[in-house]
Amino acid sequence: MPDSVARSGVTGVIHDIGYQRYEGPRLGRGYASRSLFVHSVRGAYGLGRSAWAKVLPIGLLSLACIAALVLVVVNTQLPVQVIDYVGIGSTFTYAATVFVAVVAPELVSVDLRSNLLSLYLSRPLRRTDYALTKLASLTAAAFVMLAAPMVILFLGMAFSTDDGIAGVLSEVGGLLEGFVVAAIHAAVLAALALPFAALTGRRVFASGMIIGVFLLTAPVSGALLAFSSGDGAYLAGLINPVNLLNGVDRWLFDGGTFDIGSYGPVYGLVSLAVFAVGTACTVWRYRKVRS
């Protein structure tokens, strides 16, 4: 207490207004990251939000599942399987690009526009934790988008097989290959979309930038595939993310929608580079965000 206050005879009083010191467990960064991950995955599908927020993500997932049901009927009625699990991953990647273009801004743009990052970072999350958790949640949401139709196809084919346990085990092997494809596609698309979404707090602008990447590169890649020959045609898919992932499918599982010759490892390395650069850009972006 200052001497002038003491000499004047004024004394200070501390009032007990009921606040108590927290003495419970400190759950730490791991718990905060897991909570943010679960919250973000739920938010990606509009769970716990308004009905309007559910329209696009749930609608895309529903359409993919309905298409898978149709494929089950077609596959069971024909002597040769029309499409397998890897084929579903290759074909439904176009829907997955729309999904990440819509969902990625929902995961990060609102926090940027509302300046909520400072609340997340108050404790114990760090900037890198936030960035990587958001990337992981977008990857998980995209994986569900691609894997759900595969599960429906598996259930339909497993229950209709005429080869007993051997037929079911064969379907299990195909489903696991499909899950690998879904994981690769989801990781690359998420790493490509999230850095663009983190550039602005405007969801419309963020979605436009992400869609623009696919729209601008698709015709160039398609034209090179159609009019080139030899190495030029084999490498044309590297320009467009969807064709890039289809090339990986061709390399790993003889899937995909076009021939890549002997350049499978090139498609694999480029996909890995896209994922690494996208992840690094996301982390770098959140190190620069003011909070």
Number of domains in the chain: 1
How far apart (Å, rounded) are the C-alpha atoms in residues 81 and 281? 41
What's the mean per-residue pLDDT of the chain? 86
pLDDT tier at 9, thresholds 50, 70, 90: low
Evaluate whether residue 160 is within a structural domain.
yes
Rounded to an integer, the average pLDDT of 9-23 is: 66
pLDDT in tens, 133-146: 999 999 999 999 99
Evaluate if pTM is beyond 0.75. Answer: yes
Evaluate whether residue 59 is within a structural domain.
yes
* Chain centroid to CA 92: 14
Evaluate whether residue 156 is within a structural domain.
yes
Structural domain including 169 reads 27-288
Burial, 146: exposed, middle or buried (Cβ in 10 Å; 0-12, 13-18, 19+)? buried
Evaluate whether residue 219 is within a structural domain.
yes
Q: Note the residue count of the chain.
A: 291
Evaluate whether residue 19 is within a structural domain.
no
pLDDT computed for residue 14 by the predictor: 65
Evaluate whether residue 1 is within a structural domain.
no
How far apart (Å, rounded) are the C-alpha atoms in residues 153 and 133? 30
- Neighbouring CB atoms inside 10 A of 211's CB total 17
Rounded to an integer, the average pLDDT of 209-218 is: 87
pLDDT computed for residue 7 by the predictor: 55
Evaluate whether residue 2 is within a structural domain.
no
